[in-house]
Amino acid sequence: PRQPAKTLWYDRPRYVYLEFCVEDSRDVKVVIEDQRLVFSCRNADGVEFYNEINLYARVNSKDSREKRSDRSITCFMRKWKEKVAWPRITKENIKPAWLFVDFDNWRDWEGDEEMERAMVEQYAEV
C-alpha cells in the first residue's frame, strides 16, 4: 500500500518550494508539469510514498528542479508569474492532511530576492 509523504511548502517571489519528508529515499521520481507535480519514492523499509498536487498556479516546468538528501527531497518550481504570492500550493481550496506550511522558511518578501537567488544557485550546484 502506498501513502502520501509529509510535505512542507513555502512561497518566494520567483519560486515555490516543496519538501517531501522521506528519509533514506529510493527510486525517487519527480514529474513537474506546468500545473501539476507528481512525486513518488520508497523508503528503506520499502514503504511506497506517492503525492500528486494540482498546483495553485502555473509554473515553468523547464526551469524547475529537485534535490535529494538523506532526509528529504526538495523541489523548487519557477513561477510563471513572478512576484505574485500563492495563498496555497494546491489548486483546490482544501488542505490535505499531509501538507503543511514550512514556517521556518516562510518570510516576508521584501529584499528577499538576493537570498532566493543564492538558495537556487546552491541547489543547482548539487
Residues 90-125 have pLDDT tens digits of: 999 999 999 999 999 887 776 666 666 666 676 666
Q: Which residue has the cell 529537485?
A: 66
Where do the domains of the chain lie, and which CATH numbers do they carry? 7-125 (2.60.40.790)
What span, in angstroms and rounded, lies between the C-alpha atoms of 104 and 121?
20
Under 8 Å between Cβ of 22 and 5? yes
Where are any strands of DSSP class E within the chain?
Answer: 2-3, 6-11, 15-21, 26-32, 36-42, 48-54, 59-68, 73-79, 99-101
pTM score: 0.87
Residues 18-74 have pLDDT tens digits of: 999 999 999 999 999 999 999 999 999 999 999 999 999 999 999 999 999 999 999
